[in-house]
Chain A
């Protein structure tokens, strides 16, 4: 397993994405899965950047692990910010017209729909969000 700890700032979304992509490429991750994982990073690390420590700045750790049978990548996002379970939120209504629509809540919904598994726990003062994507 490899991990990287950075300050949870907007600039570091790209740093985390590059860190994860580098490892996915080593395992010949299909392009489509990699794009979906990159979207998940933008949504999940982006949420940490926007909410976890606001208005302070704190750090976040991202762990990447490739597992076998089935071949999959497991990515864990850890922060020590405010307790926040993104999975507790009700799914957005995706059948509204353009006029009625708001984009809030769609990010986590996209992640739920594109990953094979997503779990959340709050443990020892840390938000731990884990996603799994089968190759």
Chain B
């Protein structure tokens, strides 16, 4: 998995490509941790992400909660069909902010 990070004031965009799974989830977790300070809006762009497993859900949930706590928000964009189904069956469509 590759993560591209772009900052625009208090808005941070992380563009993921490849696979978000057991092997790569720690990498996203680290990048999110580094990106939280002073961030009001965290955008996760999944346009080039092939799929995610529960290891990825765990990181997304932690990130979502951290931003909610600090008064910020997290938004997930460009979700493909496979990822959408994972969010749907796990109820994450209602928990996360997916646009």
**Chain A interfacial positions (CB closer than 8 Å to B):** 10-11, 13-14, 32, 35-36, 38-39, 42-43, 46, 49, 92, 94-99, 101, 103, 106-107, 109-110, 113-114
B55 within 8 Å of A by Cβ?
yes
Q: What's the dominant secondary structure at chain B's contact region? A: helix
**Contact status A98-B22, CB under 8 Å:** no
**Contact status A38-B90, CB under 8 Å:** no
**Contact status A109-B21, CB under 8 Å:** no
Contacting B57 at CB < 8 Å: which of A10, A14, A49, A103?
Answer: A103
8 A-B pairs besides A42-B53, A95-B94 with CB distance below 8 A are: A36-B51, A38-B50, A39-B51, A43-B53, A46-B55, A98-B65, A101-B95, A109-B90
Which chain B residues in 1-51 approach chain A with CB under 8 Å? 19, 21-23, 50-51
10 residue pairs of the A-B complex, CB under 8 angstroms, read: A39-B52, A95-B94, A96-B91, A96-B95, A98-B65, A101-B95, A103-B54, A103-B57, A110-B54, A110-B86
**Contact status A35-B50, CB under 8 Å:** yes
B58 within 8 Å of A by Cβ?
yes
Chain B residue with the shortest CB-CB distance to A33: B82
A106, B53: Cα distance in complex, Å = 9
B46 to chain A, nearest CB (A): 13
